[in-house]
Every structure is written in structure tokens, then in C-alpha cells.
Amino acid sequence: MKPIFFVGFMGVGKTTVGKRLGEVLNLPVIDLDQYIENKEKKPIKDIFLKHGETYFRELETKVLLELKSEKAIITTGGGIVDRKENRAFLQNCGSVFHLTCPFEALWERLEGDLDRPLVQNNSKTSLMELYERRLPLYESGSTVTIFTEGKSVDEVVKLLLPYLQQNIV
């Protein structure tokens, strides 16, 4: 079995859905951001502050390649698709789910979030532009798109399971 990846904009529910799917399928869940934090021994926001976004994106790519043979659910950060090599890698992985919902729904979840450097350092308009720029990148790097707005975590998991049946049997 290849890993199952979740991509999508920050705040869409990748980590929450990934954890619940991990419980349902009895698979480990690796949150890419947490993995990087453990490896670097510092929070993402400190990595951004000290080394900048480019350094962080390089770490993401390195870690993505490290985890390519894990039998796990891997939840990625919202910017994983910014690098062409990451999108190419994901396109060859098989099970890559793009979770999405309208920007306004995301903004309600993100506004005032002090743990997300891109939220702290950007206006609502800038984040909406980033969301719109990344949307086609998520699509190009994923196998299936799942809309999460108005759905519970269990409802989203229920939508995912038919796509995974051939990989988990």
C-alpha cells in the first residue's frame, strides 16, 4: 500500500479528517508540519521567522520524499503544492485527496489564528489571492477532490472510503 495524502488550503480540515480516517482504517497518521517541527525541534512559525518560507518549503520537499513508502495517512501543509516537484511527486502517488471548501468558510476558521505564519503576515485579501492561486495546483496534484463545507468529519470520511477500497483490501 502506498501512503494516502491529503492536500488543500490551510483550515480545510486535512489534519482532522486524516486523524479520523486513520482511526477507521487503523493506519498511522503523519502530519507533515508536525513531522517537520519534530525534526527541526522548533515550531513552524519559528522556522519561518528564522529561516524564511523558502527554507521551509525545501524542508517540506525533503520530508515528502522521506515518507514516500510509509504505510500511513499523510496530511500536508497548505503550501505543499507550491513547488512543481511536489506536485509531480503527488501525481505519481495514487491516493491524493484534495479537501476544499469556499474561501469565506476557511476565513471564518483562520481569522486570528496565531499559529499560522501566513495568516499572521497576510490580509484577508492576500490570503484569498493565495487560495485562488493554489486551487488549480491542488487539483493538478490530486486524484480526487472532496468538498467539506457543511459536512461532518465522519461524512467526509464516508465519502473517501469508496475511493480507498481497492487500496486497502
Task: Decide: 18 and 157 in contact? Cβ < 8 Å.
Answer: no
Q: Is the pLDDT of residue 114 over 60?
A: no
pLDDT tier at 118, thresholds 50, 70, 90: low
Query: Cell numbers of 3, please?
Result: 501512503
Residues 147, 152, 155, 161, CA torsion sign: positive
Phi, psi of 37, rounded to the nearest 5 degrees? -60, -45
Mean pLDDT, the chain, whole residue set: 88
Note the pLDDT tens digit of each residue in 76-86.
988 899 999 99
**Cα(87)–Cα(71) distance, integer angstroms:** 20
C-alpha–C-alpha distance, residues 142 and 144, integer Å: 6
Mean pLDDT, range 59-70, rounded to an integer: 91
**Cα Rg, the chain, nearest whole Å:** 15
What Cα–Cα distance (Å) separates residue 111 from each residue in 107, 139, 160, 168? Answer: 6, 25, 28, 37
Q: Walk me through the domains of the chain, giving residue ranges and CATH numbers.
A: 4-162 (3.40.50.300)
CA-CA-CA-CA torsion sign (22, 25, 27, 33): negative
What CA–CA distances, in Å, run from 17 to 5, 160, 165?
11, 10, 17
Average of per-residue pLDDT across 56-68: 92
- Of all residues in the chain, what percent carry a pLDDT higher than 70? 91
pLDDT at site 168: 45
User: How far lies 35's CA from each of 53, 54, 66, 150, 152, in Å?
Assistant: 17, 18, 11, 29, 26
Per-residue confidence band for 140, with pLDDT thresholds at 50, 70 and 90: confident
Mean pLDDT along residues 117-141 = 82
